[in-house]
Amino acid sequence: MITIKVTQKILASAEKVRQVLLEHRQLDRFFNAKFNLVKSQNSGEFIGGKGAIRQVSIGKVVFEEEILSASNEHICYQIVGNYPVSDHHGDIQLMSRGEDNQTTQLNYVIKFNGPKWLPSFLLKFFVGNDIRKAMKKLALHFANERISLEDAA
CATH code at 145?
A: 3.30.530.20
Domain span at residue 14 reads 2-152
- List pLDDT tens digits, range 49-75: 999 999 999 999 999 999 999 999 999
Number of domains in the chain: 1
Rounded Cα gap, residues 89 and 77, in angstroms:
6
- List pLDDT tens digits, range 42-51: 999 999 999 9
Q: What is the dihedral sign for C-alpha 138, 142, 147, 149? A: positive
Q: Which helix (H) or strand (E) holds 150?
A: helix 120-152
pTM: 0.88
Contact 11, 102 (CB under 8 A): yes
pLDDT band at 101; cut points 50, 70, 90: confident
- List pLDDT tens digits, range 107-152: 999 999 999 898 999 999 999 999 999 999 999 999 886 655 555 5
CB-based contacts of 107, cutoff 8 Å, min separation 6: 5, 6, 7, 92, 93, 95
